[in-house]
Amino acid sequence: MSDKPLRLVPLGGLGEVGKNMMVVEYGHDILVIDTGIMFPENDMLGIDYIIPDFGYLKDKVDRVRGIVITHGHEDHTGAIHHILEDIPAPIYATALTRGLIEVKLQRAGLLKDARLHTVQAGDTVRLGPFRVEFFHVCHSIPDGVGLAIDTPAGLVVHSGDFKFDHTPVDGWPTDFGKLAELGQRGVLALMADSTNAERPGWTPSEAVIDPAFDDVFRAAPGRILIGTFASLISRIQQAARAAARHDRVLSLVGTSMVDNVRIARQLGYLTIPDGLLIPLDEALKMKPQRVALMCTGTQGEPSSILGRLSTATNRQFDLLPDDTVVLSSHPIPGNEETVHRTINRLLQRGANVIYDAIAPVHVSGHASQEEMKLLMQLIRPQYFVPVHGELRHLKMHASLAHSIGIPAERTAVVENGMVLEFREGKMQAGERIPGGYVFVDGRGVGDVGPEVMRERESLARDGFVLVNLRLNPKTGKLAGEPEIHTRGFVHAPDAEELLQAARQKVRELGGGSENGLPEKIERELGKLFYAETKRRPMVLVFTSSSGS
Ligand SMILES: [Zn+2]
Ligand SMILES: [Zn+2]
């Protein structure tokens, strides 16, 4: 036993679906698990994605022994280049995960200096006081791993994203034997994927998708457009096999899809014969009933291929009358509204749309309740920490733990930034550190704060009012008539009365020569507009000196 505490510091993924990042700390040494991003919710205007707040690590850079990545999904890998810029620690990942990470590092110009190490399930790596053993888990992307981390304070197990699929697409089920062995060794703490904690029973095997795809392929009169995540490599494999069975060619639409498939094929994780996969421009010239297209955009992102097709703004090609669109994915929590809008628009534009509510064209990559219980039974941890989920998922996962005999006081439902400490085999709450959002907007990281988000929201909701004032340079008083323009607030001809009142208010205020006139006008007009319309447009006042 050790005298130093073992600390778990969740920086992302606890209390949300996305941007997973967990820090394991023992004494002076630190291990980082995953570096994910989260996609913005509807109300986060203009934000590309969100990365974890890893400020906690910035003064501890020399203490980070390694960054371990469990699998190649964006919510585990997407922030790797942001993290690596500040924390140039060695990265450990399986071959496919590494391949997908390399693409990101290459784009960010960081690949040359990155220290990447390939591991495979069964390997053990020593990183300072941590002995990290990788074990295979099934998920919706091949080559996913869970982690058994041996520390002087005890053994910690992290499930990674997992399910117990007996017939996975790549034929490689979760390593039950290893899980049982870990349970026998004695596990201090288990951290496990909570995504589907509300879902009873077992998650169906990926194998159920094959017959569903067969039905779609048999019935489709024209082209088939299959939408999924570019990182759902297993689904791309299933689509390729379905295309081969039904004598269609497959073509990839979108850079991320093309890049990921190239890497996965090179590394042997995707088997697609050359003749089956053809370039898009060739596919577009073929008879529609011979073509299947693989595209991104199942979350309703307006700039994605399916998003653009739904609004008739895709440049390379448009929907055809007999097209069948298959959404082989499920909305990420928060995206439901946009996804449904995209489905409606695609239907409106004449496509036949098939999604998981009407046919089993998607199964989850995450364990359901019975699998979660089985994992806990096999591992039999002293302490249980649900991870990877919104608070309701974490709570539900904790109550599943209670149902199989893990007492409440040995379960820790914590959110980002709430540190857990293990001292002499006992768990206690540590300090609270920042665990919020860092917005990435175009090329800017973290320069869009909550203040800017509030301004964008207000602009989108209530529009703005622009007031142009000319001031007498000598007296500082208003000279001439104020000009008032509005955008997105009121329709000018209908609101002439309101704008008259606003001009009158400006004239009254502009009669005095006090300082801070623009601010005063912004404030007073804000009040006037709210009183009259119950809306709060952004009021901007510009002043210029009158030439006279
Ligand atoms: Zn995943
Ligand atoms: Zn995940």
Phi, psi values for residue 302, rounded to 5°: -60, -30
Residue 52 clears pLDDT 50, i.e. is over it: yes
Looking at per-residue pLDDT, the higher value among 34 and 335 belongs to 34
Identity of residue 548: S
161 CA to centre of ligand 2 in angstroms: 6
Average pLDDT, the chain: 90
Average pLDDT, integer, range 355-378: 93
Q: Is 234 left (phi over 0), alpha (psi -120 to 50) or beta?
A: alpha
Residue 278 clears pLDDT 70, i.e. is over it: yes
Yes or no: say if 428 and 421 are a contact pair by the CB < 8 Å rule: yes
pLDDT at 528: 86
Residue 449 clears pLDDT 70, i.e. is over it: no
Active site residue 193: yes
Enclosing H/E stretch for 429: strand 426-432
Point out the catalytic residue in the list 75, 193, 356, 441. Answer: 193
Q: Which ligand is nearest to the CA of 365?
A: 1
212 CA to centre of ligand 2 in angstroms: 25
Q: Which ligand is nearest to the CA of 21?
A: 2
Point out the catalytic residue in the list 366, 388, 393, 397. Answer: 366
pLDDT at 514: 62
DSSP state of 163: B
Residue 526 clears pLDDT 50, i.e. is over it: yes
User: What is the C-alpha to C-alpha distance for residues 529 and 531, in angstroms, rounded to an integer?
Assistant: 5
33 CA to centre of ligand 1 in angstroms: 13
466 CA to centre of ligand 2 in angstroms: 45
Q: Which of 12-16, 125-129, 336-340 has the lowest mean pLDDT?
A: 336-340
Average pLDDT, integer, range 76-83: 96
SS (H, E, C) 155-224: EEEECCCCECCCCCCCCCCCCHHHHHHHHHHCCCEEEEECCCCCCCCCCCCHHHHHHHHHHHHHHCCCCE
Q: Is 148 exposed, middle or buried (0-12, 13-18, 19+ CB in 10 A)?
A: buried
CA 8 to chain centre: 22
Q: Which ligand is nearest to the CA of 18?
A: 2
User: What is the C-alpha to C-alpha distance for residues 109 and 116, in angstroms, rounded to an integer?
Assistant: 14
Looking at per-residue pLDDT, the higher value among 539 and 286 belongs to 286
pTM metric for this prediction:
0.81
Residue 501 clears pLDDT 90, i.e. is over it: no
Residue 373 clears pLDDT 50, i.e. is over it: yes
18 CA to centre of ligand 2 in angstroms: 6
Looking at per-residue pLDDT, the higher value among 441 and 209 belongs to 209
Q: How confident is the model at residue 447 (pLDDT cuts 50, 70, 90)?
A: low
Active site residue 366: yes
Yes or no: say if 490 and 533 are a contact pair by the CB < 8 Å rule: yes
pLDDT digits (tens, 9 = 90+) for 303-357: 789 999 999 999 899 999 999 999 998 887 778 888 999 999 999 999 999 998 8
**For residue 466, what are the contacts with CB-CB under 8 A and spacing of at least 6?**
484, 485, 486, 487, 540, 542
pLDDT digits (tens, 9 = 90+) for 244-261: 999 999 999 988 899 999
Average pLDDT, integer, range 215-230: 95
User: What is the C-alpha to C-alpha distance for residues 139 and 201, in angstroms, rounded to an integer?
Assistant: 17
